[in-house]
Amino acid sequence: MNKPAILKCMLVLLAVPALALASESPLHALVERYRQGPDHWPQANVDTGVDYQPLAAIAEQVPVPANNPLTAAKHELGKHLFFDRRLSASEQIACASCHDPDLGWADGRRASIGHNRQKGDINAPTVVNSAWLTHIFWNGRAASLEEQVIASWTNPIEMAADTDVAVERLSETQSYPALFEQAFGSAEVTPERVAQAIASFMRGLTLTNTPFDRFMRGDTDAMSDEALHGLHLFRTKARCINCHHGPQLTDNRFHHLGTSFHNVGDFQGRYRLTGAQDDVGAFRTPSLRGAAETPPFMHNGFVKDLDMLLALYNMGWWQNAELPEKGNDIPTAKLSPLIKPLSLSGTEVHALKAFLNSLNGTMPWMEMPELLP
């Protein structure tokens, strides 16, 4: 059976309706163990070598670097800069062009459109909860939000800015010098200050009050029985816990799942930075918080929805795929040993989906501010 046919069969399984839990069933007893709190949960099935961190509610205060303290004035300045198209070379692209509040602070595209209508080779992830990231961009090339701002701002296929030209443009406006003075103590506009202000704004975009977080903080009714069954599967049979753990539900590491095909989009992944064979096609594990609300998925955006994503994981991605001819000197990619076929039933897939949806909540939202004169 070819891959499209297998995937179609897996998607059919998702049509199986969820089943109510009888009070005397073993599954009901399992769910009740979860309602008693993490000390009563069954042990997670974690592979040898995985640096596992227990699941937990997310902190309600974001981490802030010592060299860029968060202030209301800096956050306000960053908000205006985030939506300001004048930062880009064409004066047509803002940060919000790819991170739209109406689309969960992503853009809903398989790959984003940048300077001169160039199509990128990567999917724009949400910036919500980015304050907790330790590696930024899919290949982890930035270590802080401030670095990420500069990298996107100057990338020739994103905003393509000459930062000296952009800051001069801002300096000549009526409004920005006063906002910079309020935020930094002087009216001087510099690339570093622009990056610090935008990073401060992004740190304020958080999703911390999901059903899962409320459950982990003691609200035992915050999650349904089906979602708790899904939580159990997430930690055991479905193997998700090997890469998605800790408060952010990510290991902050890089893995190759077989989604990178040579010479299609960004197929190099982490290898582009490290040159290590194990990093060919390896991309950062994203957090799952709010992720179900920002399709398409994966680094190249080829997974259109959550049902397709679960079907692919259930079949073990491309375990028996033949590697294509490379036509270059990049080493052959190695599939992550953490990815295996799962043999989940339709009912189990539904339960897992219910758990993933418990990681959703009310995304932060705001109207686009008016362009400052």
Binding residues for heme c, as ranges, are: 95, 98-99, 115, 240, 243-244
- Measured distance CA(109)–CA(98) in Å, rounded: 9
Q: Which of 309, 270, 293, 295 is nearest to 359 (CA)?
A: 293
Is-contact 349 226, C-beta < 8 A?
A: no
Question: From residue 74, how far is each of 82, 131, 202 by CA, in Å?
Answer: 12, 15, 11
Is-contact 283 299, C-beta < 8 A?
A: yes
Is-contact 201 82, C-beta < 8 A?
A: yes
- Measured distance CA(253)–CA(142) in Å, rounded: 14
Strand blocks (E) in the chain: 254-255, 283-284
Q: Which residues are annotated as a binding site?
A: 95, 98-99, 115, 240, 243-244
> What letter represents residue 169's amino acid?
R
Which single residue is written with the structure tokens 């296929």?
157
